[in-house]
Structure 1
Amino acid sequence: MTINDLRFTESDSRAKSTAHVGFLLIPEFPVLPYATVIEPLRAANHLSGRTLYRWSHISVDGEPAQASNGVRIQTEFSVGTDAHFDYVFVCAGGNPASFRDPPTFAWLKQLARRGVKIGGVSGGPYILARAKLLNGYRCTIHWKHAPALLEDYPELDLRRSLYEIDRDRLTSSGGAAPLDMMHAFIACEHGSALAMAVSDWLLQTHVREGTGPQRMALRQRLGIAHAPLLRVISKMEQTVENPASRKELARLAEVSLRHLERLFRQHLGCSIGEHYLALRLERARDLVRQTSLSVLEIALACGFTSASHFSRTYRTRFGEAPLIERRREAFGRGR
């Protein structure tokens, strides 16, 4: 296929109109997911020879929006604008759970009532959940934010996928995943020929399905090729709230408990218990930073039996008690 092979039928009214796409940039938004949404739109315009899309940037106060890497993007509108949009993508990162701006949520609800298609990338789906715009929809979010989102909104149909397009909601887990979502988006809007041309032009040699996994396989992530050990580690990651016993893990690996301990020491440099504890404390730290759950609630969600034991263990691991870290994080965000 070449660029000259691209064709649009006269009956396809979507090809003759220009869609206005808004980007709501929440402070500390990540640049990569934002770029992988906007660049395919630019490529679609260039390769089709038509202005299929135009875009504008929106911030909460109309001031330039600062990304997590310090880059500042000039915005044309502020939240509440009555400008017409066909799509609005919410780009957020950092700790999206800490963003609590009622006018923004009200404006997003207003857009949805008008029939605007709403998207969220990286931490953006958290903002959509706050605005009650994901109820009844399949959705996804970056794996780092998923535990906190489910603690706040257990009723959501949250998938651990790369992206979800469900009627008039588009959510992506962030990173490079929006590039795959935009391939599906452009194919739906203007046909697979243009979508393939855009992916080819952007050197996207493999387009992933939306249902693909967000994270590398454990084998690649940990650099371990020992299959029984990988089964055990996978089980541990799935059972943070109700940790499996060491005997259960040994049965899963089909080895003795003593041999399993040796495998952990050999491949991970720690004991079974030490690795399990590290997993539970990392999950706890995410919940401390991203939710308003009490210390006891976080302790129970991460497999601890008491708030006091959890707080002591947390302080030993991270150098400060969970409530102290939460206050420090809140102070740093100016809340």
Structure 2
Amino acid sequence: MPRPPPETTRPTRVGFLLIDGFALMSFASAVEPLRAANAISARPLYQWFHVSIDGRPIGASSGLSITPDCAIDGTQDFDLVLICAGGNPTKFSDRRTMTWLRGLARRGVAIGGISGGPYILARAKVLDGYRCTIHWEHAPAFAEAFPHLDLTRNLFEIDRERLTCGGGVAGLDMMQALIRRDHGPELASKVSDWFLQTNIRLGDASQRQATRDRGRLGHPAVAAAIGLMERRLREPAGRGEIARAAKVSLRQLERLFAAHLGTSIERHYLTIRLQRARILLRQTSLPVTQIGTDCGFVSPTHFSRVYKQRFARTPSADRNL
């Protein structure tokens, strides 16, 4: 990645390409550390610009609208471009954007993606040969669409001139690492203090809480059981196998699920499989029958029936939303 300019030259110029429906939290987590670095150092270390595809205002998922400073066909000379996208990035295929991103890559501009942004970078073919990450919700679709890419499940990745981040508050961690590399640990530490960031996470930190902590599971046996369920979707484990993995009797595990989750082992397992199926339906082009198989349903009819019972529409209808 290009080194930052020395103190006597212009600030590092960062372009934020905002895609309609972007998450405001993800964007703010990335841009605010730059403002803090400038304020704390009393020097314009960074200069940032809001970029849209066509120069028109861009709407965040919260409804807030941002007026851009420029469009992608402008003449701005960026050192780094970060693309912020939310919603369902698999539906984004604007050719002008893809061409623009490839042009930036050819000129050696550092490029990054936040939240769903890495999916758009992958579609533009500017992540080939680089480690990358993406929000956990988009990871199954990303892996299916771009199996050749080196996808991790890390919080963020900085691999040479490519930066990718899962989104949410992880942008703060990624930009803190960038500021540390560009301007030293002392300034980076002050930026973290500015935002009350007492626990600085490294890039290889997990995007999600450990299974035992997620949803206040309250018992290690329940966490172990759910961990096995999440790993075994295509060929679901039987109740006995789940109980053995949890190191309790089946009867005790049933009581624990009822007490801590208010449901049965079978119903919770079914919920996990259906939720994964819904993500794959909405974010990939996999055939409906294959999604059903991959999520452990014995036949297309069984998949359709169970899916409709849960979501009040068939898998095919859900895909077309």
| Shorter-chain TM-score tier | over 0.9
How many percent identity over aligned positions?
A: 54
State the match for 2:256 in structure 1. 263
TM-score (norm 2): 0.95
Match in the other structure for 2:122: 129
Per-residue Cα deviation, 1:46-87 (whole angstroms, up to 9, x for no partner): 111111111111111110111000111111222233321100
The one of 97, 106, 109 aligned to 2:99: 106
**Offset, 1:26:** 0.6
1:248 counterpart residue number: 241
Distance 1:151 1:181, change over 3 A: same
Q: Does 1:161 align with 2:134?
A: no
Aligned to 1:191: 184
User: 2:83 corresponds to which residue?
Assistant: 90
**Structure 1: gaps of 5 or more residues:** 1-11, 330-335
Distance in 1 of aligned mates of 2:255 and 2:223:
14
Partner of 1:6: none
Structure 1 residues 251 and 220: alpha-carbon distance in aligned structure 2, compared to 1, 3 A threshold? closer
2:50 to 48, 52, 57: 57
Which one of the candidate residues 7, 12, 15 is aligned to 1:22? 15
Q: Does the aligned pair in 1 maintain the 2:156–2:204 contact within 8 Å?
A: yes
Matched, 1:79 2:69: no
User: Is there any run of 5+ residues in structure 2 with no aligned partner, and where?
Assistant: none
Kindly indicate whether residue 315 of structure 2 is the aligned counterpart of residue 325 of structure 1. no
Letter aligned with residue 252 of structure 1: A
Measured in 2, the distance between the counterparts of 1:131 and 1:102 equals 9
1:142 corresponds to 2:135: yes
String of CA shifts for 1:255-312, please: whole Å, max 9, x gaps: 3323322322222222211111100100111111112221112112212232221111
What residue number does 2:206 align with? Answer: 213
Name the structure 2 match of 1:43. 36
Residue 304 of structure 2 corresponds to which residue in structure 1? 311
Shift of residue 13 of structure 1? 4.9
> Are the counterparts in 1 of residues 133 and 151 from structure 2 also a CA contact under 8 Å?
yes
Partner letter of residue 147 of structure 2?
P
Matched, 1:289 2:282: yes
260-269 or 49-58, which moves further after superposition? 260-269
Distance 1:240 1:135 in 2: 29
User: Given that residues 14 and 189 in structure 1 are in contact (C-alpha distance below 8 angstroms), is that contact kept between their aligned partners in structure 2?
Assistant: no
SS at match of 2:84: strand
Q: Select between 198-207 and 238-247 the one with higher mean Cα deviation.
A: 238-247
* CA drift at 1:222: 2.2
Give the Cα–Cα distance (whole angstroms) in 1 for the partners of residues 235 and 72 of structure 2.
42
Counterpart of 1:52, as a letter, is L
Asked if 1 retains the 8 angstrom alpha-carbon contact of 2:212 and 2:224, the reply is no
The one-letter amino acid paired with 1:189 is D
Give the letter aligned to residue 110 of structure 1.
G
Alignment RMSD, CA only?
1.5
Q: Contact (CA 8 Å) 2:83, 2:114: kept in 1 or not?
A: yes
